[in-house]
Amino acid sequence: MNLLTHIRTMVLLSFATLFATGLAAHSESIGTEYQRVTLTKIAEGLEHPWSIAFLPDDRMLVTERPGRLHIIDADGSKTRVEGTPDVVARGQGGLLEVALHPDFASNGYIYLTYSKGGDNGDTATALARGRLQGDSLHDVEDIFVQNRYSQPGRHYGSKLAWLPDGTLLMSIGDRGAEPPRAQDPADHAGKLLRLNDDGTVPADNPFVDDDDVASEIYSIGHRNIQGLIVHPDTGEIWATEHGPRGGDELNLVEAGKNYGWPVQSLGQDYRTGEQFGDSVRDHPDMVNPVIDWTPSLAASGLALVTGDNFPAWQGNLLAGGLRSEQIRRVAFRDGEPVHEEELLRGTVGRIRDVRIGPDGNIYIAVDSSDGAIYRLSPDGS
């Protein structure tokens, strides 16, 4: 073992030991289909935590929707990071996703999505970038703002994921009031975007040569993606998104494809209870979901199980659920979903984010006015 590996191992062991000893009263053993796991509360007193990202020293960055960003240490203590952008924290809006640049160790860049205020009280989903130095952000700038502001409150999307080529995926919801925006090729709403790390447009984006389509668009027809990952081995893009009263979806996203909202959906209109769009899902130019969750999961947060901590779950997806208050474990065989298990149903509350930590354990952000961060680890670890 070289010196760097030894130091990292000691840091991870120290990180785990501090959590285990300092917050032992907050741990409990829980049964699952294949193994028992330990649920540990590692931080509390957070106001609507939205997103988790891990720093190289294994501390966490956590956003709070009202507009705060915190660094959370192994003992659960919080340090507020100064210099975050001003947000419009109404409804589902506020400070949302946080992600590190793949070369964070050398450039210090972190990325934040948020609801940005405009004229007449309207808002847009925006992407800001800044350098993290100590407990403050420097050189913060908006590197992308969606191209149409609208009334605040709903469907900002705002998940981020890096592709192997160093480009960045960013989801934007349909913004709620006008679902057909998701099918408008000139509108960023209801789309998955692909950007360079400075917010510019990659030259090989699928619609870059089409003057009728916004050049940042990677795929269209999304209602509100709030779970997004890129498979580290295959490069596949997996996304979970909300439907209305049913019709939540797990999608395997490909460049240039149309995922149907609001033309096709199993969801129902909130006001009338009527079918939203066509439930048959036979449109020749639209892609059907891999899984259609009806009743609704209220999907938010998505992770892929890797590492050795959960061998029976290897390669499974973990989809968080807000209103359903659970994690849905999805197992695959030959690329097709074959089994699902409900984890933590009704145990911790509304699950907003799910991440695999550098120690191989599962970290969960619980959305409430007195929210918390939890860890799932194998029993006895």
* Euclidean distance between CA atoms 264 and 344, whole angstroms: 31
CA dist 380 and 357 (Å) reads 18
- Contact indicator for 82, 127 with CB cutoff of 8 Å: no
Q: How far apart are CA 203 and CA 185, in angstroms?
A: 18
Q: Which of 70, 155, 188, 242 is catalytic?
A: 155
Nearest to 219 by CA among 200, 243, 237, 245: 237
Question: What whole-number distance in Å separates Cα of residue 26 and Cα of residue 374?
Answer: 9
13 class by beta-carbon count within 10 Å (0-12 exposed, 13-18 middle, 19+ buried): exposed
Q: Is 339 a catalytic residue?
A: no
- Cα–Cα distance for residue pair 293/362, rounded to 1 Å: 23
What lies within 8 Å, CB to CB, of 377 at 6+ separation is 16, 37, 38, 40, 309, 361, 362
Kindly tell me the sign of the dihedral angle through the C-alpha atoms of 142, 144, 147, 148: negative
Report the amino acid identity of residue 296.
S
| Residues listed for the chain | 381
Sheet holding 225-230, edge to edge: 225-230, 237-241, 248-253, 291-293
Report how far residue 70's alpha carbon sits from residue 98's, in angstroms, rounded to the nearest whole number. Answer: 11
So which residues are the catalytic ones? 155
